[in-house]
Structure 1
Amino acid sequence: MKRNSLPDPTSRSEVLRARRKYTEQVVFAVIFTVVELWAIVAVVVLLDDHGVLAVAVSIVLSAALIALWDIWRTLLMFGRALRAWLPETLPAAEEEVEPDRSPSSLLRL
C-alpha cells in the first residue's frame, strides 16, 4: 500500500498540484468511459452468436460496467475530500501562513 499525504492547504504549489492531478484523473476517466461505452455498443451490435459465447460476452460487459462505476465513484469520493480539505482561494504567500489543521494522509490502494 502506498500512503499519500494530503496537500498542505497553505502551500500554493501543493494546492495547484493536487487540483491539477485531480483534473488529469477526471480527463482520463472521461476518455476511458467514452472508449468503454463505444466498445460495449460495438460488441452488442456486431455480436451475432448464441450459447456459451453470448454468456461469456455478457459477463465481460457487466465487468466493464462495474469498472466504470467504480472509477467514477472513486473520483467523486476523492473530489469531495479534496474540496473539503483545500481552501476556496489560493494562498498568497508560501511560508508566512501558519497551518491551522493537523496533517493527515489518504490511504491509496
Structure 2
Amino acid sequence: MKKLFITSVFALGTLTAFAQEEQAAEAQEAATEAVAQENFSEIALEEVPEAITNMIATNYPGATIDKAHKNEENQYKIEVSLEDGTSGALLLDEEGNAIEQ
C-alpha cells in the first residue's frame, strides 16, 4: 500500500511539473507573438505591394484585403476575408512569399 501511495504522489508531482512547464511555454510563446505584433504598423491598402495583391488574387480568388500592416524588415501582415465568410492573416515578404512564423 505504501508503494502505491508513493507511486501516486510521484505521478501527481510529475503531472503538475509537466503542466507548469507547458503553461510557461505557452506564456513565452504568447509574449513572443505579442512582441512580433507590436513591430507592425498599419498602412493604407494602397501601400501594399502589387506582388502581394497579385499573390492574394491568384491563391485566394475572391478574397478581400481588410487591413495591412508593415514592419521595419519590409514584412507585411495582411488581414483577408474570404467569400465564405472566413478570415485570417497572412505574413508575407514584399515579393508575396509566405514567411514562416
TM-score higher than 0.5:
no
Give 1 or 2: higher strand fraction: 2
Higher relative contact order (CA 8 A, sep 6+): 1
Give 1 or 2: higher helix fraction: 1
- TM-score normalized with structure 1 length: 0.40
- TM-score normalized with structure 2 length: 0.42
